[in-house]
């Protein structure tokens, strides 16, 4: 690997992924590994990664817990700089001979520390200055390990920073990775560039070169005849994966787009325009609308809808793939959070559950997986998409569920009702974008309700269905707040939907957060 690596050893903190993201934002590549790779006395795995720095994350345990996670002290003898954060700091103090006292109670929240030495992490902060930090720690480091000095201290001394500059080991009992530590990025930068002397060689442009080389190596030379097939959904991940693989192997990539009848308005044309017309990708568009709608006829149970769509998608995709000569590889837009969840020792909870994604393809098709986005966070995938020339409009799309409008068209699915929902959804999309709110909202969409109510239009009485408008802010889909959309925007959407869409005569706004609600209605 051409770029330098910082290794984060995960002790189960809810913030571990944030540490990695904050480091990558400063152009230094960073990987998260479970702390268990640092329990073997020889440290084979850790050495093989050849890190320029090691970060020990926070974690929910106390160093006094039975079976509390620990590492071999040899980690501190590798000659590689170490940053201990919260649990990582207490563990460091304990392993290196300091005095760590169990906490009477755990401390969370905003705190203030006074910098004692403008050195190491605090290199850019004059001694004596107070920093606002976010603390979430239990045990308390009473006595420092030999050779360590205090670098920062809180008023009651229960919270501090300590370091041995000579050994390049720096510890803080607060979280520099969270936004509530306003100068956290600067402190991390001091560790990366000051202590680890990192080059800052991680950029999307360099990632493209490395990823292209890796894809070519995996797929083999053109003479070997291997092809990659990629299911395009119109979403960000599969689109970026396809664009990247296309950059690597050109016409040895075949993309398959399945129109399952529950897509948004114009979706098929949208994807075809970008991939076929612009990128000249070998794209097969399968019109399976009728096939899906036949299977879905009279199905109202949400889980049944999901299962049918997932199963049918695999069947359609598989049939098409069989007609592609030399198809030996299947592209998947797996992202880093999914990878970490499967390796992490406790597993961060803050990822969208995998049952939400259509699984089962690789097992069924016996193809080797090409997963070129495995190392990337979502925001990096968007950057990569732009780097590869995908339009901004596409890389900044809001998430859209695999079962599509099927779970937004409540009750029985008919082409007519789906068309009504599509028309309303397009208006919502247009108005949210026109108000310049699209990028700041996690998801905004309409839900067609199988509820009819009476209305008047002109001299006529109407008796039609209602549309629920949903717009939420969220970081990861696990929790969400409804968006306080401006009244004039709500008014415009309502007026336009009722005037322009035959079949809807009433619009309501969903003001439920998650929990207790979910984002989708089904």
With CB under 6 A as the contact rule, the residue among 356, 378, 473, 496 that binds ligand XMP is: 356
Contact range with ligand XMP by CB under 6 A, out of 67-75, 192-200, 323-331, 512-520:
512-520
Asked if 366 and 256 count as a contact pair (C-beta separation under 8 A), the reply is no
With CB under 6 A as the contact rule, the residue among 36, 39, 357, 414 that binds ligand XMP is: 357
Look up 196 and say whether it is catalytic: no
What residues form DSSP beta bridges with 31?
7
Contact range with ligand XMP by CB under 6 A, out of 62-70, 192-200, 340-348, 351-359:
351-359
The CA R_g of the chain, rounded to the nearest whole Å, is 26
349 binds ligand XMP (CB under 6 A): no
Structure-token pair, residue 72 = 């071999």
Among residues 30, 33, 171, 177, which one is catalytic? 177
How far is it, in rounded angstroms, from Cα 341 to Cα 357? 15
SS3 508: strand
Query: Which residues, numbered 459-498, are part of the site for ligand XMP (CB under 6 A)?
Result: 477
Nearer to ligand XMP, 372 or 402 (CB): 402
> SS3 sequence, 403-441?
CHHHHCECCCCCHHHHHHHHHHHHHHHHHHHHCCCHHHC
How far is it, in rounded angstroms, from Cα 251 to Cα 151? 57
Q: At what angle do helices 236-249 and 204-219 cross, to 10 degrees?
A: 70
Q: Kind and range of the H or E element at 112? A: strand 107-115
Structure-token pair, residue 497 = 């939907």
Query: Taking the complex as a whole, how short is the minimal distance between the CB of residue 116 and ligand XMP, in angstroms?
Result: 45
The set of residues, in sequence order, having a beta carbon less than 8 Å from that of 183 and lying 6+ positions away, is 125, 131, 132
514 binds ligand XMP (CB under 6 A): yes
Nearer to ligand XMP, 242 or 388 (CB): 242
Look up 319 and say whether it is catalytic: no
Contact range with ligand XMP by CB under 6 A, out of 18-26, 29-37, 45-53, 396-404:
396-404
How far is it, in rounded angstroms, from Cα 190 to Cα 186? 6
Contact range with ligand XMP by CB under 6 A, out of 185-193, 376-384, 395-403, 453-461:
395-403
Query: Which residues, numbered 410-469, are part of the site for ligand XMP (CB under 6 A)?
Result: 443
With CB under 6 A as the contact rule, the residue among 352, 365, 423, 490 that binds ligand XMP is: 352
Query: Which residues, numbered 291-310, are part of the site for ligand XMP (CB under 6 A)?
Result: 306
Among residues 30, 86, 171, 230, which one is catalytic? 86
What residues form DSSP beta bridges with 149?
163
518 binds ligand XMP (CB under 6 A): yes
Look up 150 and say whether it is catalytic: no
Active site residues: 86, 175, 177
Chain residues binding ligand XMP by CB under 6 A are 306, 352, 356-357, 399, 401-403, 443, 477, 514, 518-520
């Amino acid at each position: 690997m051409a770029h330098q690596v910082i290794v984060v050893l995960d002790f189960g903190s809810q913030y571990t992924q944030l540490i990695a993201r904050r480091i990558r934002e400063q152009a230094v590549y960073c990987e998260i590994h479970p702390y268990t790779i640092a329990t073997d006395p020889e440290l084979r795995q850790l050495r093989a990664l050849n890190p320029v720095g090691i970060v020990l994350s926070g974690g929910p345990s106390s160093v006094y817990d039975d079976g509390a996670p620990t590492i071999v002290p040899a980690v501190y003898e590798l000659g590689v700089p170490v940053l201990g954060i919260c649990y990582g700091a207490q563990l460091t103090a304990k392993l290196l001979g300091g005095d760590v006292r169990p906490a009477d109670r755990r401390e969370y929240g905003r705190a203030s520390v006074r910098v004692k030495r403008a050195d190491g992490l605090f290199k850019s902060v004059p001694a004596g200055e107070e920093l606002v930090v976010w603390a979430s720690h239990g045990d308390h480091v009473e006595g420092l390990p030999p050779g360590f000095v205090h670098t920062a201290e809180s008023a009651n001394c229960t919270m501090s920073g300590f370091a041995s500059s000579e050994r390049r080991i720096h510890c803080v009992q607060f979280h520099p990775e969270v936004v509530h530590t306003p100068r956290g990025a600067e402190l991390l930068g001091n560790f990366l560039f000051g202590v680890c002397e990192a080059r800052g060689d991680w950029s999307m442009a360099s990632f493209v070169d490395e990823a292209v080389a890796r894809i070519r190596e995996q797929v083999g030379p053109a003479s070997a005849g291997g092809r990659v097939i990629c299911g395009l959904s119109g979403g960000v991940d599969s689109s970026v994966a396809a664009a990247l693989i296309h950059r690597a192997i050109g016409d040895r990539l075949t993309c398959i787009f399945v129109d399952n009848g529950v897509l948004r308005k114009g979706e098929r044309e949208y994807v075809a325009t970008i991939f076929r017309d612009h990128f000249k990708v070998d794209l097969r568009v399968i019109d399976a609308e009728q096939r899906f709608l036949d299977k879905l006829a009279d199905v109202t149970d949400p889980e049944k809808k999901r299962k049918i769509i997932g199963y049918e998608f695999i069947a359609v995709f598989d049939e098409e793939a069989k007609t592609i000569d030399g198809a030996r590889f299947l592209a998947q837009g797996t992202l880093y959070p999914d990878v970490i969840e499967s390796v992490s020792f406790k597993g961060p909870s803050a990822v969208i559950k995998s049952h939400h994604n259509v699984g089962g393809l690789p097992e069924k098709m016996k193809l080797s997986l090409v997963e070129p986005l495995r190392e990337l966070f979502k925001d990096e995938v968007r950057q990569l998409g732009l780097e590869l020339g995908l339009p901004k409009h596409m890389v900044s799309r809001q998430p859209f569920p695999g079962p599509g409008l099927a779970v937004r068209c409540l009750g029985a699915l008919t082409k007519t009702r789906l068309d009504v929902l599509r028309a309303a959804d397009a208006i919502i999309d247009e108005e949210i974008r026109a108000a310049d709110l699209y990028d700041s909202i996690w998801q905004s969409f309409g839900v067609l309700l199988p509820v009819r109510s009476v209305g008047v239009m002109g001299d006529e009485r109407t008796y039609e269905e209602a549309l629920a408008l949903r717009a939420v802010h969220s970081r990861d889909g696990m929790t969400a707040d409804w968006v306080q959309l401006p009244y004039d925007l709500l008014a415009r959407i309502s007026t336009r939907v009722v005037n322009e869409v035959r079949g809807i005569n009433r619009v309501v706004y969903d003001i439920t957060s998650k929990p207790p609600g979910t984002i989708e209605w089904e």
